[in-house]
């Protein structure tokens, strides 16, 4: 963009002695590149302005446009390569953009000396081709096979890893590519120099449009067709072919085409691209079933020995899968049970689809709109979980939208009774905006009167500072918001911020009616949702009770405060997510302050569930006696209708620390647990940690 602005400024320079350009001349010059190319192909450049040499399409304009396209296409590929190892989108941007700018700057200095050499341009092309050839193998070697940079190790080690990758894998390549445009510009200037500098403007214009075309082609064509490694090989083959043409000093296009095809075969073999990894398994025993490479990076469908599948995006971002299906479905079902008649439902951030499709289990739901921004994730969700799907892509009530969730929701007015936002990691690319003030306002506007918006927050991915910022932003739009949870996890808890358009939450009559309706549906097997007492265990009270003060900064699209804060915090050695003891102490403090008139569900349910957190804390501390006592208290506090429900299963309990639950737990719920055989039975359900 700056290149085009500079070109516009040069083209707008007044003609010496003529009083300046005609009105509209600058815009006309900016848009004349296709016309210039057409004239050049018809060989009538001189006819346009007799006696004045114009930039030739083949000799001047096309080469500088091609160089711009090359550099920006390489930058897009480098960005996606860096995204595989640097978790934060902010860090990826700084790493790649810094490498490109440094490389182009060094290339401009190198061009001063290469320009004095008769073979300067061939040398620059040869270096670019060679560095692009070896760059994929170099990236894999420097990152130990695409192992993500260690987070929470401190900014020093993280910065050293990023600097090594940048200085050895990115900067040399962009330094070599950065010499091409100065060399071409100098050669063209010697042929076309004039007092007004209009020819320089035309060259810059051609280069600028080439940059835009290269960026778009790299993102939407090169990466989907060639992928991370072969894209570099394609660039190497192209540079090598042009080098061969320069050295041959001829325009034998058929011969050059044969050279290019031969290079396409030889370069990937020389670079051994087929043996280079596309991801680093996050855990042993996971096999890749499908791999997608495209404009949103590398997306992999992984399967474990038990046949459970999950989606991994860009080597570090777990999207969910069948291993966490029960947990994901609870994220949809819990907001649904809080609304009296959720006919129209939207799920923002569909991911693997288990959260969204849970809405189809509710017979009250008439339409479900699921929104996903990534075509690769959408394809894996559709094709990778055939045996687990429950109508997301086949039920006539379900509509799946491939678009940006922010844009989709901003276009809706009074459209939904329930809107659910999935778990979003705030330092990932664009996800901080889904916790913004503007997005909350869009969600509120999209709700019908009395509608509910539930935004889930992975506490295991945010510090207390980030949670406070998210909560303040949410309360600015939904002042009566409540906090809920989808499990009793202590190591990896997730909470939902629930706001209602037009009143506070929750309503006792609504919960009683909705749990009775859920109990009548055989597919809704989660016993916690079949009774008001089971729902009460998941209610954590008014969101405002979890804020020391409601005054303070909020996160907006304008300040991107959450994204910057989370990206900086994730590198700190003292990074501490709001989990384990900090989370348990926070809950205990809020429960201690809750008054006796807080309502029929609050704080009784949260007090009953607190025993399970105490038991997990005791297990982590190695105190078996305290853990058994906490389990006994938790069983006695568990609503009787939950344990008596024939559909009750510990898989729906969803804790992430094994607890010594006695085999005769129903009897133990009615009497104190005085002893035991010491044998612990852990709930066999999916662990939130796997997410």
pLDDT single digits (tens) 111-147: 998 988 888 899 999 999 999 999 999 999 999 999 9
Q: Which two tokens stand for residue 122?
A: 């061939």
Report the pLDDT value the prediction gives residue 19, as an integer from 0 to 100.
Answer: 47
pLDDT at 176 over 50: yes
DSSP state of 53: P
With beta carbons less than 8 A apart as the criterion, state whether 620 and 530 touch: no
With beta carbons less than 8 A apart as the criterion, state whether 67 and 206 touch: no
Q: Is 108 exposed, middle or buried (0-12, 13-18, 19+ CB in 10 A)?
A: middle
With beta carbons less than 8 A apart as the criterion, state whether 631 and 646 touch: no
79: number of Cβ within 10 Å = 20
Q: Which two tokens stand for residue 375?
A: 């075509």
Mean pLDDT of the chain: 86
pLDDT at 254 over 50: yes
pLDDT at 669 over 80: no
Cα 447 to Cα 501: distance, rounded to the nearest angstrom: 7
Report the pLDDT value the prediction gives residue 453, as an integer from 0 to 100.
Answer: 97
pLDDT at 66 over 90: yes
Report the pLDDT value the prediction gives residue 13, as an integer from 0 to 100.
Answer: 60
Q: Which residues contact 70 (CB under 8 A, 6 or more apart)?
A: 128, 177, 180, 214, 235, 238, 239
Give the torsion sign (CA, 111, 112, 114, 118). positive
Report the pLDDT value the prediction gives residue 525, as an integer from 0 to 100.
Answer: 81
435: number of Cβ within 10 Å = 27
Pairing of strands 539-542, 482-485: antiparallel
User: 26 vs 647, which has greater pLDDT?
Assistant: 647
Cα 125 to Cα 238: distance, rounded to the nearest angstrom: 10
How confident is residue 553, by pLDDT bands cut at 50, 70 and 90? very high
How confident is residue 681, by pLDDT bands cut at 50, 70 and 90? very low
Least confident of 174-178, 239-243, 475-479: 239-243
Alpha carbon 137 to its chain centroid, in Å, reads 25
Report the pLDDT value the prediction gives residue 376, as an integer from 0 to 100.
Answer: 93
Alpha carbon separation from 595 to 385, 483, 543, 545, 590 (Å, rounded): 46, 17, 15, 12, 10
Report the pLDDT value the prediction gives residue 30, as an integer from 0 to 100.
Answer: 56
Report the pLDDT value the prediction gives residue 652, as an integer from 0 to 100.
Answer: 84
How confident is residue 352, by pLDDT bands cut at 50, 70 and 90? very high
Q: Would residue 577 be called left, alpha or beta, if left means φ above 0 and alpha means ψ between -120 and 50 degrees? A: beta
Q: Is 194 exposed, middle or buried (0-12, 13-18, 19+ CB in 10 A)?
A: exposed
Alpha carbon separation from 500 to 452, 478, 512 (Å, rounded): 5, 7, 18
Percentage of the chain modeled with pLDDT above 90: 59
**pLDDT, mean of residues 198-211:** 86
With beta carbons less than 8 A apart as the criterion, state whether 317 and 393 touch: no
Report the pLDDT value the prediction gives residue 366, as an integer from 0 to 100.
Answer: 96
**pLDDT, mean of residues 440-455:** 96
φ, ψ at 150 (rounded to 5°):
-70, 125
**pLDDT, mean of residues 272-286:** 89
Number of alpha helices (DSSP H) and beta strands (DSSP E) in the chain: 27, 12
Report the pLDDT value the prediction gives residue 46, as an integer from 0 to 100.
Answer: 43
Give the torsion sign (CA, 389, 495, 598, 473). negative
pLDDT at 691 over 60: no
With beta carbons less than 8 A apart as the criterion, state whether 482 and 554 touch: no
Pairing of strands 297-303, 287-294: antiparallel
HSE-CB for 497 with a 13 A CA cutoff: 31
Report the pLDDT value the prediction gives residue 672, as an integer from 0 to 100.
Answer: 52
Alpha carbon separation from 504 to 377, 543, 668 (Å, rounded): 36, 11, 37
Nearest to 496 by CA among 470, 522, 515, 527: 470
Burial 564-596 (b: 16+ CB within 10 A, else e): bbbbebbbeeeeebbbbeebbebbeebbeebee
Report the pLDDT value the prediction gives residue 684, as an integer from 0 to 100.
Answer: 36
Nearest to 549 by CA among 493, 475, 456, 439: 475
How confident is residue 677, by pLDDT bands cut at 50, 70 and 90? very low
Q: Give a three-class secondary structure readout of 96-148.
A: HHHHHHHHHHHHHHHHHHHCCCCCHHHHHHHHHHHHHHHHHHHHHHHCCCCCC
Report the pLDDT value the prediction gives residue 202, as an integer from 0 to 100.
Answer: 82
pLDDT at 23 over 80: no
Select the highest-mean-pLDDT range: 150-159, 262-271, 311-320, 460-469.
460-469
Cα 606 to Cα 583: distance, rounded to the nearest angstrom: 13
How confident is residue 52, by pLDDT bands cut at 50, 70 and 90? low
Cα 501 to Cα 479: distance, rounded to the nearest angstrom: 10
pLDDT at 689 over 60: no
Least confident of 68-82, 375-389, 477-491: 375-389
Q: Which two tokens stand for residue 491?
A: 């190591």
Q: Is 623 exposed, middle or buried (0-12, 13-18, 19+ CB in 10 A)?
A: middle
Peptide bond into 603 cis (omega under 30): yes
Peptide bond into 187 cis (omega under 30): no
Alpha helices in 179-222 (DSSP H): 180-192, 198-217
How confident is residue 392, by pLDDT bands cut at 50, 70 and 90? very high
Q: Please, what is the end-to-end C-alpha distance for the chain in angstroms?
A: 40
With beta carbons less than 8 A apart as the criterion, state whether 330 and 354 touch: no
For 32-81, list the strands marked E by DSSP: none
CA dihedral 503, 504, 505, 511 (to 10 degrees): -50
Pairing of strands 344-348, 416-421: parallel
What string of DSSP letters covers 266-293? HHHHHHTGGGS-S---SSTT-EEEEEEE
pLDDT at 686 over 90: no
Give the torsion sign (CA, 675, 677, 679, 682). negative
């Amino acid at each position: 963009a700056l290149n085009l602005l500079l070109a516009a400024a040069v083209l707008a320079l007044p003609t010496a002695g003529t009083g300046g350009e005609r009105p509209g001349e600058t815009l006309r010059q900016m848009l004349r590149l296709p016309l210039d190319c057409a004239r050049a192909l018809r060989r009538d450049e001189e006819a346009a302005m007799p006696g004045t040499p114009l930039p030739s399409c083949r000799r001047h304009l096309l080469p500088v446009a091609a160089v711009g396209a090359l550099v920006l296409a390489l930058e897009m590929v480098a960005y996606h390569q860096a995204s595989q190892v640097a978790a934060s989108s902010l860090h990826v941007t700084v790493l790649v953009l810094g490498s490109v700018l440094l490389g182009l700057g060094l290339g401009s200095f190198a061009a001063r000396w290469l320009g004095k050499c008769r073979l300067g341009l061939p040398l620059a092309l040869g270096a670019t081709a060679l560095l692009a050839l070896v760059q994929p193998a170099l990236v894999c070697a420097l990152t130990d096979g695409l192992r993500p940079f260690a987070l929470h190790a401190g900014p020093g080690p993280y910065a050293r890893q990023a600097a090594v990758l940048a200085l050895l894998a990115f900067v040399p390549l962009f330094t070599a590519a950065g010499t091409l445009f100065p060399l071409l510009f100098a050669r063209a200037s010697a042929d076309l120099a004039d007092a007004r500098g209009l020819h320089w403007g035309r060259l810059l214009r051609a280069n600028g449009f080439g940059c835009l075309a290269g960026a778009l082609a790299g993102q939407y064509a090169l990466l989907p067709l060639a992928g991370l490694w072969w894209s570099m090989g394609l660039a190497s083959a192209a540079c090598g072919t042009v080098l061969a043409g320069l050295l041959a000093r001829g325009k034998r296009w058929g011969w050059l085409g044969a050279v290019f095809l031969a290079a396409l075969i030889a370069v990937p073999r020389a670079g051994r691209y087929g043996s280079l990894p596309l991801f680093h398994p996050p855990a042993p025993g996971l096999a890749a079933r499908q791999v997608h490479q495209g404009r949103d990076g590398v997306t992999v469908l992984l399967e474990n020995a038990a046949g459970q599948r999950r989606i991994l995006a860009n080597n570090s971002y777990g999207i969910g899968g069948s291993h966490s299906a029960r947990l994901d479905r609870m994220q949809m079902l819990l907001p649904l049970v809080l609304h009296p008649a959720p006919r129209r439902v939207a799920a923002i951030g569909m991911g693997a689809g288990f959260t969204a499709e849970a809405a189809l289990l509710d017979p009250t739901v008439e339409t479900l709109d699921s929104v996903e921004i990534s075509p690769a994730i959408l394809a894996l969700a559709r094709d990778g979980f055939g045996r687990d799907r429950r109508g997301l892509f086949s039920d006539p009530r379900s509509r799946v939208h491939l678009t940006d969730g922010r844009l989709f929701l901003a276009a809706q007015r009074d459209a939904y009774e329930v809107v659910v936002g999935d778990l979003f990691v705030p330092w990932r690319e664009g996800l901080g905006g889904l916790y913004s003030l503007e997005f909350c306002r869009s969600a509120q506007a999209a709700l019908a009167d009395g509608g509910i918006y539930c935004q889930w927050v992975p506490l295991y991915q945010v510090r207390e500072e980030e949670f406070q910022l998210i909560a303040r932003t949410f309360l600015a739009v939904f002042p009566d918001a409540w906090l809920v949870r989808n499990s009793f996890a202590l190591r990896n808890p997730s909470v939902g911020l629930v706001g209602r358009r037009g009143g506070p939450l929750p309503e006792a009559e609504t919960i009683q009616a909705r749990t009775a309706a859920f109990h009548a549906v055989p597919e809704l097997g989660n016993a916690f949702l079949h009774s008001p007492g089971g729902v009460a265990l998941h209610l954590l009270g008014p969101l405002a009770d979890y804020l020391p003060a409601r005054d303070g900064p909020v996160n907006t699209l304008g300040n991107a405060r959450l994204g910057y804060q989370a990206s900086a915090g994730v590198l700190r050695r003292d990074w501490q997510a709001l989990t384990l003891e900090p989370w348990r102490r926070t809950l205990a403090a809020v429960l201690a302050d809750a008054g006796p008139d807080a309502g029929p569900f609050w704080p009784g349910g949260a007090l009953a569930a607190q025993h399970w957190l105490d038991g997990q804390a005791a297990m982590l501390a190695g105190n078996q006696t305290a853990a058994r006592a906490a389990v006994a208290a938790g069983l006695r506090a568990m609503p009787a209708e939950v344990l008596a429900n024939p559909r009750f299963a510990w898989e729906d309990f969803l804790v992430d620390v094994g607890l010594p639950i006695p085999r005769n737990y129903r009897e133990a719920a009615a009497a104190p647990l005085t002893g035991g055989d010491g044998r612990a039975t852990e709930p066999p359900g999916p662990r939130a940690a796997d997410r």
